Structure 1
Amino acid sequence: MSTDAPGAAPLIRLRGVTKTYGSGNTAFQALRGVDMDVQAGEFVAVMGPSGSGKSTVMNILGCLDTLSAGSYRFRDVAVEALDRNQRARLRRHYLGFVFQGFNLLGRTSAQENVELPLLYRGASAAERHRAAREALAQVGLDGWGHHTPAELSGGQQQRVAIARAIVTQPQVLLADEPTGNLDTQRSREIMDLIATLNRERGITVLMVTHEPDMAAYARRVVRFVDGRVDSDRLQEPVMSPPVESTLAGEGG
């Protein structure tokens, strides 16, 4: 799905993006001239073998790393021209992140974990509490806010991580191997949830995965090889069941 008008600039545009680590004889070129557009509302799976550059490009898209050469435009703004504080504001206001390892604070409740991005944005306590409760409800964890990560299953922890990612109502969700630590059933439930957020809320999703079963949920698959885009194809995605049936009775 795309919310852009015909001829409108894409939400994300990469042109000639390179990334080099080190210098001289030890230099490693992780990206070698990447061109890629992402329209608002797309669900894109980014695949490729280890060392192909897929995680590097995601870090650049998420403003967690900077490119060495080329152009990265977000909402037609040149990201490479932004200073550190401006890139941080872009992350806080437009991007949500989901990682393989959940990255939750272990001694902090689910509610407080979800509130963290709003705390960094300076939201009031009342606003944080309300938004976090709503985000937890959206991922099927209504009433679980007082539990710590140790009291939750892996699937539930990843739901908390997704709630934390969407609590700021981002335009883009960047997911790096979001099912990597989950079993098959929980992986499907998480993918159903991400696909529902994309389809029903219009959140643009870019997901790194090495699993074809998970990439099948995306509308588009971009494959990286040796730091370049090797293929870029559309597909008919796996359709999620209604979110209510996905979440009903799920405890894992």
Structure 2
Amino acid sequence: MNSATPLISLRGVTKRYGSGAAELMALKGIDLDIQAGEFVAISGPSGSGKSTVMNILGCLDTPSSGQYLFKGAHVEALSRDQRARLRRQYLGFVFQGFNLLARTSAQENVELPLLYRGDSASVRRVAATVALQSVGLGGWESHTPSELSGGQQQRVAIARAIVTQPDVVLADEPTGNLDTQRSHEIMGLLMALNRDHGITVLMVTHEPDMAAYARRMVMFVDGRIARDEINLHPATAAPPSLSPNEST
């Protein structure tokens, strides 16, 4: 790793659920640095702590102890509202289940983070159109999720994640609901966003062939980091098919 100040730094981070006999230590003293522009896959078996650490990194949860620094700011000391502002300003999220509003067009789904941020209608419209074009869905702005394939829905979700031009995209099992071909296309898209736009990508996955696309692989076991290594030969993907005839 280079010696630059990390974009993200965890120091001694723990997460405790419950108390007494019911206490569960989901994280047991995590130290982790992530540099701007990295593509990191976080993997591990069920219950390993990978989803817990992703929730903390995404400011959706807070550590029980330890420090979380984002651009040098102590996130663990922020209020709920301050963490929400950090999420809106710097982070984009992609989920396994797409999390699109069912009766809302692709355009309106992508505009949603900008609406929460208070941007004007004209700014939202232009930014969402550009984001949809960047994921190969130009011309599909008016389609609702039910009119899109799973792969296209995930592209809409990625467009929504990047419409705010975040520093970091956090992808939680982004290919979990897709077939093999669409999974590899989505990974190719995430790689392109990382490579061409410099977006830091943090991805949780239980699929080794998806983790293989990342340039760094962090394995969690029993609430600890068991392995943290550079992937010298990341997988590559053909450019995603942008055909409007993509099958479901």
TM-score, normalised with respect to structure 1: 0.95
Instruction: State the 1:240 CA deviation.
Output: 3.5
SS at match of 1:141: coil
Q: Which of 88, 92, 96 is the aligned partner of 1:92?
A: 88
Alignment of 1:239 with 2:233, yes or no, is: no
Q: Within 2, Cα distance between the matches of 1:169 and 1:26?
A: 41
Q: Within 1, Cα distance between the matches of 2:209 and 2:3?
A: 33
Instruction: State the 1:42 CA deviation.
Output: 0.2
Residue in structure 2 matched with residue 41 of structure 1 by the alignment? 37
Letter in structure 2 aligned against 1:60: I
Letter in structure 2 aligned against 1:166: I
Q: Within 2, Cα distance between the matches of 1:191 and 1:249?
A: 17
Instruction: State the 1:173 CA deviation.
Output: 0.4
Could you report, residue by residue, the CA deviation over 1:45-97 in whole angstroms, capped at 9, with x for unpaired residues? 00000000000000000000010000000001100111111100000000000
Alignment of 1:72 with 2:74, yes or no, is: no
Q: Within 2, Cα distance between the matches of 1:247 and 1:185?
A: 10
TM-score, normalised with respect to structure 2: 0.96
Would you say the 8 A contact 1:52–1:226 is kept in 2?
Answer: yes
4+ residue segments displaced more than 6 Å: none
Letter in structure 2 aligned against 1:29: M
Aligned residues: 245
Residue in structure 1 matched with residue 242 of structure 2 by the alignment? 248
Letter in structure 2 aligned against 1:175: A
Residue in structure 2 matched with residue 186 of structure 1 by the alignment? 182
Q: Which of 198, 209, 215 is the aligned partner of 2:211?
A: 215
Letter in structure 2 aligned against 1:124: S
Residue in structure 1 matched with residue 79 of structure 2 by the alignment? 83
Q: Within 1, Cα distance between the matches of 2:209 and 2:154?
A: 18
Instruction: State the 1:9 CA deviation.
Output: 1.3
Q: Within 2, Cα distance between the matches of 1:248 and 1:26?
A: 50
Letter in structure 2 aligned against 1:114: V
Instruction: State the 1:147 CA deviation.
Output: 0.4
Residue in structure 2 matched with residue 176 of structure 1 by the alignment? 172
Could you report, residue by residue, the CA deviation over 1:133-187 in whole angstroms, capped at 9, with x for unpaired residues? 0000000000001000001000000000000000000000000000000000000
Could you report, residue by residue, the CA deviation over 1:213-250 in whole angstroms, capped at 9, with x for unpaired residues? 10111000000000000000111211344xxx423326
RMSD, aligned α-carbons: 1.1
Q: Which of 28, 32, 47 is the aligned partner of 2:24?
A: 28
Could you report, residue by residue, the CA deviation over 1:17-41 in whole angstroms, capped at 9, with x for unpaired residues? 0000111111110000000000000
Unaligned runs of 5+ in 2: none
Q: Within 1, Cα distance between the matches of 2:128 and 2:78?
A: 30
Would you say the 8 A contact 1:154–1:182 is kept in 2?
Answer: yes
SS at match of 2:146: helix
Residue in structure 2 matched with residue 161 of structure 1 by the alignment? 157
Q: Which of 100, 121, 124 is the aligned partner of 1:125?
A: 121
Would you say the 8 A contact 1:34–1:229 is kept in 2?
Answer: yes
